[in-house]
Amino acid sequence: MAVLVSLLYFTPLTATAVELDEGDEVEAVMSYDTSKTDETPNQIEGVCQIPEGFGLNAYIEIADAEGTHYYISVSQENGYSDRAYVKNGTYSFVSAGVYGDNTGKYAFDLVQGEDDFTLDGENNSFFCIKVKITNYDEIKAQIEENKGEEKPKVLEYAPTGLKGVTIDSTGVLYYETKATSSKGTIEIYGNATNDYKVYVEIIEKGVVGEAKFKLSLDGGKTFIGDDTTSEEFDLGSYGITIGFKTEVDTDELQVGDTFTADVPATNYVSQLNPLESNVVVAGASKEDYQLMIDILSSETLGKAKFSISTDSGKIIDVTDTIPEDGIYKYKDLIIYFYTSDVFSKGDQYMSSVETHIEKSSYLGIIIIIAVLVAGFIAFLVFLLMHAEKKTDYVIQVWNEKQMSEVYR
């Protein structure tokens, strides 16, 4: 599926294809909308060399001789490598960058694929383009520094539009917690897949790493299990992590200590400067979206214009003004906008919203229905057989009576 994309949203690394002026619109195809067919038998692979833990979504842009542009979307989820299936023709590398980086903060160097290349679907049906983020070593060092022994989290936090929720410089959400313990606390962070009332109770005393706890996600009504405390206890499919802390390593958590928090369902949002302006997408969606929020004007809450797309920008579903309270309801989601000053025109906020509602399996229902049908059929057969036997008995009695009258 094609879409018209304004070049205002991208900061090209270089351009070797058709020359275009800023603001021109081009026909664009996203890599995830392509597939291998008889018409598109060729494969162009895009690889971004980015340090592990970078987190932001990037793209590699290529174009054919007819002016169609293809965007190979890469992210941490796909290992910063993806492919686009294209028709026969001649192609050129155009640009690479980070989505929403209108300031050009993140530049890329072309490593492989400088020259134009032709694909024919036979002998030449594959081509690989590689780019590398320019300040690779610097970014890697920053990421490694954030993984130090003291604390693997960033220390800078900012408020969000969602009460009781803060955000760090990498876009990770933290939730306000309460404790009855005199020695310890917990922190909860991540993107919960549903609304939870977290209740943690210490059931065996000890230091962090030895003390045991039990966990409830419905305020203590039911418990999903117990385990050993940890500085980072990942709850996996629930989407959040619990970290136990004490002021001194030798301090012990006591039996009966409790920790609570109201954790709303949220979805991870890729954003460049969350400490200055951020967006929280809350709600347990019933559908999957590739949500893209574009800031259309540099203004404050109540004045800034924005647009929403649920298919990565192919179709703009909504254009509106951010409310003064920063809370905007859309479909089954609630979007919370926050800024310490003003939003910046051109900023993009992207979120892969996935439904976590379990799809019903009909196998069990089918089996139950089959058993009931089989039982009903067996019951009918039994009735028919019983009816036949009764009829035979009546005939036999009648025959015996007739014979008795004959011989009388």
At residue 38, what is the residue type? D
Distance from chain centroid for Cα 3: 23
Rounded distance, CA 83 to CA 155, Å? 37
Q: How far is CA 258 from CA 40, 184, 192, 232, in A?
A: 59, 10, 20, 17
**pLDDT at position 195:** 93
Q: What is the pLDDT of residue 97?
A: 86
Beta carbons of 201 and 213 less than 8 angstroms apart = yes
Q: What 3-state DSSP class applies to 298?
A: coil
Q: Does position 152 have pLDDT exceeding 60, yes or no?
A: no
Give the pLDDT of residue 318.
93
E strands along 102-257, which residues? 108-112, 117-119, 126-133, 157-159, 165-168, 173-175, 178-179, 184-190, 196-204, 212-216, 225-228, 233-234, 240-246
Report the pLDDT value the prediction gives residue 205, as an integer from 0 to 100: 94
Give the pLDDT of residue 223. 94
Out of 44-53, 291-300, 398-407, give the one with best mean pLDDT. Answer: 291-300
pLDDT value of position 356: 63
What whole-number distance in Å separates Cα of residue 28 and Cα of residue 267? 27
Are 112 and 128 in contact by the 8 Å Cβ rule? The answer is yes
Looking at the predicted structure, is the pLDDT value of residue 204 above 70?
A: yes
Q: Which of 46, 9, 10, 7 is nearest to 26 (CA)?
A: 7
pLDDT tens digits, 366-389: 567 777 887 778 777 777 666 555
Whether 284 contacts 194, CB under 8 Å:
yes
Question: Residue 323 above 90 pLDDT?
Answer: yes
Lowest mean pLDDT among 35-44, 346-355, 395-404: 395-404
Q: Report the alpha-carbon angle 225-228-232, nearest 5.
A: 100
Residue 291 pLDDT > 80, yes or no?
yes
Query: What is the model's pTM?
Result: 0.57
Cβ atoms < 10 Å from Cβ of 280: 27
Residue written as token pair 């549903």: 194
Checking 390-398 for CB contacts under 8 A at 24+ apart, the result is: none
- Interval 67-97: pLDDT, tens: 899 989 888 777 788 889 999 999 999 988 8
Whole-angstrom distance, CA of residue 50 vs CA of residue 60: 13
Cross-strand partners of 262: 197
Between strands 25-30 and 69-74, the pairing is: parallel
Q: Tell me what pLDDT residue 387 has.
A: 57
Contacts of 263 (CB under 8 A, 6+ apart): 175, 188, 192, 195, 196, 197, 198, 240
Give me the pLDDT at residue 263, please.
Answer: 95
Q: Which residue has the tokens 């002016």?
A: 67
Please tell me which residue, 8 or 376, carries the higher pLDDT value: 376
HEC profile of 69-129? EEEEEECCCCCCEEEEEECCEEEEEEEEEECCCCCCCCCEEEEECCCCEEECCCCCCEEEE
Tell me which DSSP letter residue 361 carries: P
pLDDT digits (tens, 9 = 90+) for 17-36: 444 454 455 577 888 788 88
% of the chain exceeding 90 in pLDDT: 43
Alpha carbon 9 to its chain centroid, in Å, reads 23
pLDDT at residue 364 greater than cutoff 80: no
Average pLDDT over residues 257-263: 95
Highest mean pLDDT among 8-17, 66-75, 186-195: 186-195
Is the predicted pLDDT of residue 182 greater than 60, yes or no? Answer: yes
